[in-house]
Amino acid sequence: MKEEGDEQAFSAVLRRLVQGATLTSAESTEIFGQIMKGCVPESQLAAFLTALAVRGETEEELLGAVRALRGQMRPLSPRAGADSAAEKGGVVDVCGTGGDGLGTLNVSTATAFVLAGLGVPVAKHGGRALSSRSGATDVLEKLGIPAEADMKRQARRLAETGLVFLAAPFHHPAMKQAAAVRKALGFRTLFNLLGPLCNPANVTRQLVGVFSRAWCDPVANVLETLGSHSVWVVHGETEEGGIDELTLAGPSFASVREQGRQFTLTLHPEMAGLKSQPVSALRGGDVRENARRLEALLQGEKGCYRDTVLFNAAVGLHVAGRETVLAGEVISPHALQRNVALAAACLDSGRAYEALQRARESVRN
């Protein structure tokens, strides 16, 4: 921190962490607030993030960090798209933490177009690549949808077209205070989790993918604590490690928080009427290749990418309040397969591609 006393106070926090202590949510909010104001030198920030990562971050620390970032966030109008959203079941976000290191194609971005094609209002939050080769913002730019900094235009786009892409740097400028340190460290930190929990449109319906199964319950709890009422936090297991989305390469796990209920689920692709496929079949390339593959998918290309998106869109429909996939607190294969069929029809009819075209057109107006 810039003042000598503040630096000493932060050093005291570091000593506590090195000794294995944890932070309360209030302490975490204060410390991350100082970090995001640029008051913490890079050397101390690196030590702080490393100490948390080595000891293992807690749910309370995550809650405090999210509150700090939301406090610095540049949000859309809270009522952006509210009238149309109320009629269609609410605005939804589909977003992954990244950080799984598998270099896959852009699943959540493609899922957003499918949901929009089905009439679900989507406020898709995302950023540029940090741990992958092509983040949501990168691939959207290649598709002719540049990042938009004007909050009023974003709000209007959500209200009028039911689809808006929210580039994290414009809404979370405070995150730049940690960017250089995160890049230099080269491993996952608590910052990897913050973006998906801080949607600038204040959505309360969220399908969030996380890089580790251990974070499913904590992330779901934090979102519920902060007011979300339909949350699925998912993690897939593949032959090459964990992935931040529902996968065809193995079981997927979900922590669900909805209608005051809390429960966990295990999903297999066969439940959705889909074939298991290795994660290597979902491998992406550079941003140009990933954009090409996403547009080909929306134009009807078959394969693992399509089926993975269908799986995620089927659950996204449920999270949006449109079509359930549950019978009580268990998966209904019949309902899940019905949702997969709805998503497939959206792609086959061209409605998902039309959502892409509308998004392109909207940025020109």
Same-domain status, 274 and 169: yes
> Tens digits of per-residue pLDDT, 246-301?
999 999 999 999 999 999 999 999 999 999 999 999 999 999 999 999 999 999 99
Same-domain status, 158 and 280: yes
Mean pLDDT across the chain: 91
For residue 92, report the phi and psi dihedrals to the nearest 5 degrees: -120, 150
Same-domain status, 280 and 143: yes
| Residue where a domain stops, chosen among 40, 72, 104 | 72
> Tens digits of per-residue pLDDT, 183-221?
999 888 999 999 899 999 999 999 999 999 999 999 999
Q: How many CA atoms lie within 13 A of 91 on its CB side?
A: 29
Residue recorded with tokens 């302490």: 27
pLDDT exceeds 60 at position 82: no
Instruction: State how far Cα 46 lies from the chain centre.
Output: 24
Taking the CA atoms of 56, 58, 167 and 292 in sequence, report the sign of the dihedral they define: positive
More reliable by pLDDT, 5 or 215 = 215
Pairing label, strands 205-209, 230-238: parallel
> Tens digits of per-residue pLDDT, 12-35?
999 999 999 999 999 999 999 999
Binding residues: 96, 99-100, 104, 106-109, 124-132, 136, 182, 244-245
Nearest to 113 by CA among 364, 363, 360: 360
Residue 80 lies in a domain: no
Given this model, what pLDDT does residue 295 score? Answer: 98
Residues in a beta bridge with 265:
254
For residue 307, the one-letter residue type is D
Residue 133 lies in a domain: yes
Residue 96 lies in a domain: yes
Binding residues for Mg(2+): 108, 244-245
8 Å CB contact between 275 and 306: no
Same-domain status, 195 and 126: yes
Q: Residues of the chain with pLDDT > 90: what percent?
A: 82
Same-domain status, 238 and 122: yes
Binding residues for 5-phospho-alpha-D-ribose 1-diphosphate: 96, 99-100, 104, 106-109, 124-132, 136
The vertex-335 CA angle with 121 and 312, nearest 5°, equals 50
pLDDT exceeds 70 at position 50: yes
Same-domain status, 42 and 116: no
Same-domain status, 312 and 278: yes
Nearest to 202 by CA among 365, 25, 318, 75: 75
pLDDT exceeds 70 at position 86: no
pLDDT exceeds 80 at position 322: yes
8 Å CB contact between 61 and 221: no
pLDDT exceeds 50 at position 355: yes
Residue 55 lies in a domain: yes
Same-domain status, 10 and 121: no
Same-domain status, 191 and 229: yes
The CATH number for 308's domain is: 3.40.1030.10
Domain count for the chain, please give it: 2
Q: How many CA atoms lie within 13 A of 89 on its CB side?
A: 21
Residue 320 lies in a domain: yes
For residue 139, the one-letter residue type is V
Same-domain status, 40 and 133: no
Contacts of 179 (CB under 8 A, 6+ apart): none
Q: Give the confidence band of 134 by pLDDT, cuts at 50, 70, 90.
A: low
Residues in a beta bridge with 236:
243, 252
The vertex-275 CA angle with 269 and 277, nearest 5°, equals 95
Q: Give the confidence band of 1 by pLDDT, cuts at 50, 70, 90.
A: very low
Locate 138 and state its tokens.
């990168």
For residue 67, the one-letter residue type is R
Binding residues for anthranilate: 96, 182
Q: Give the confidence band of 129 by pLDDT, cuts at 50, 70, 90.
A: low
| Residue where a domain stops, chosen among 72, 103, 132 | 72
Three-class SS of the chain = CCCHHHHHHHHHHHHHHHCCCCCCHHHHHHHHHHHHCCCCCHHHHHHHHHHHHHHCCCHHHHHHHHHHHHHHCCCCCCCCCHHHHHHHCCCEEEEECCCCCCCECCHHHHHHHHHHHCCCCEEEEECCCCCCCCCHHHHHHHCCCCCCCCHHHHHHHHHHHCEEEEEHHHHCHHHHHHHHHHHHHCCCCCHHHHHHHCCCCCCCEEEEECCCHHHHHHHHHHHHHCCCCEEEEEEEEECCEEECCCCCCCCEEEEEEECCEEEEEEECHHHHCCCCCCHHHHECCCHHHHHHHHHHHHCCCCCHHHHHHHHHHHHHHHHCCCCCCEECCEECHHHHHHHHHHHHHHHHCCHHHHHHHHHHHHCCC
pLDDT exceeds 50 at position 163: yes
Residue 289 lies in a domain: yes
pLDDT exceeds 50 at position 88: no
**Residue-range definition of the domain harbouring residue 18:** 1-72
Same-domain status, 104 and 62: no
Same-domain status, 177 and 236: yes
Taking the CA atoms of 143, 147, 153 and 155 in sequence, report the sign of the dihedral they define: positive
Residues in a beta bridge with 330:
327
pLDDT exceeds 90 at position 231: yes
The CATH number for 29's domain is: 1.20.970.10
Residue 81 lies in a domain: no
- Average pLDDT of the residues in 144-171: 92
Residue 162 lies in a domain: yes
